[in-house]
Amino acid sequence: MTSTSNPTAAIMIIGDEILSGRTLDSNVNTIAKFLAALGIDLNEVRMVRDVEEQIVSAVVALSSAYDYVFTTGGIGPTHDDITADAMATAFGVGISEHPEALRVLQERADKMGWELNANSRRMARIPDGASLIKNPVSAAPGFQINNVFVMAGVPKIMEGMLSDVAPRLKTGRKVLSWTLKLSYVGESWAADALRDIDNRYADLSLGSYPFGLGQGEFGTQLVVRGQNAESLDAAVSELKAALEPVISEGRKRNPEARLEEITA
């Protein structure tokens, strides 16, 4: 494993639009990158429907298993926005209109020249004891309840909310990574070198991700990840050396066989 002492996290994506195939989720990737930069290990993701029991049982499981849970979706003004109620149920607290949430909603409506109707006002309903998460895009706040950060589903709003979440998180050692691109050699030819280094460097994790698959350029990207820069550098040097004969052999099959560093 790459990280034993880093804080751990899970993501829960809430919404029928994801599970029906209507929408391709991008929030997992955004949050995953955000957490990686903070040295927080993302261990699990769940995607659930707009069904209260499903949301409740998933958040109960995840919030007890990990240090942090990040949810997206279901905090708007319509009937299918049930996340706030589900969180209140999950944590056994009431839900009521939060004065500060109402204030920011009213302020935004005034500024835009809108009337704050009863549906918009529902977005001020926050589980008791939760703290607000600022929404720099459209005002309606998210909230933190215990170790769960409840954010909007709209990617731009969700990203904006992460800025307000970041200072609340314990951070860990950032996971560093190197990527090597092995071209015109199938990944099975690199597998022995990878396995050997994976076995000998217990603090690193190695991955192999094939691309191309026979049409035009093909090969595999080799990713070495870990918290310890020295260990990482040593492993990458060893991997490169171990791949030299693999590439020489590969050139006999395809003269274009080569290894490149694509990130450092």
Helix (H, G, I), strand (E, B) or coil at 129: coil
Helix (H, G, I), strand (E, B) or coil at 251: helix
Q: Is 133 an interacting residue with respect to its own copies (CB under 8 A)? A: no
* 113, 167, 216, 255: which one binds its own copies (CB under 8 A): 113
Q: Is 76 an interacting residue with respect to its own copies (CB under 8 A)? A: yes
List of E strands, 6-110 = 8-14, 41-48, 68-72, 95-97
* 166, 191, 202, 241: which one binds its own copies (CB under 8 A): 191
Of 22-61, binders to its own copies (CB under 8 A) are 22-26, 28-29, 32-36, 42-51, 54
Minimum Å gap between C-beta 123 and its own copies is 8
- Find all residues with CB under 8 Å of 198, minimum gap 6, and list them: 204, 205, 206
Minimum Å gap between C-beta 97 and its own copies is 15
Nearest to 93 by CA among 106, 101, 80, 84: 84
Q: Is 106 an interacting residue with respect to its own copies (CB under 8 A)? A: no
Of 229-248, binders to its own copies (CB under 8 A) are none
Q: Is 200 an interacting residue with respect to its own copies (CB under 8 A)? A: no
* 38, 52, 77, 131: which one binds its own copies (CB under 8 A): 77
CA angle 133/73/151 to nearest 5° reads 15
Pick left, alpha or beta for residue 262 (phi over 0 → left; psi -120 to 50 → alpha; otherwise beta).
Answer: alpha
Which residues share a beta bridge with 225?
177, 205
Q: Is 19 an interacting residue with respect to its own copies (CB under 8 A)? A: yes
Q: Is 4 an interacting residue with respect to its own copies (CB under 8 A)? A: no
Minimum Å gap between C-beta 129 and its own copies is 26
Span from 90-98, 126-134, 150-158, 234-242 in contact with its own copies (CB under 8 A): 150-158
Q: Is 79 an interacting residue with respect to its own copies (CB under 8 A)? A: yes
Q: In this structure, is the dihedral angle defined by the CA atoms of residues 201, 204, 205 and 211, taken in order, positive or negative?
A: negative
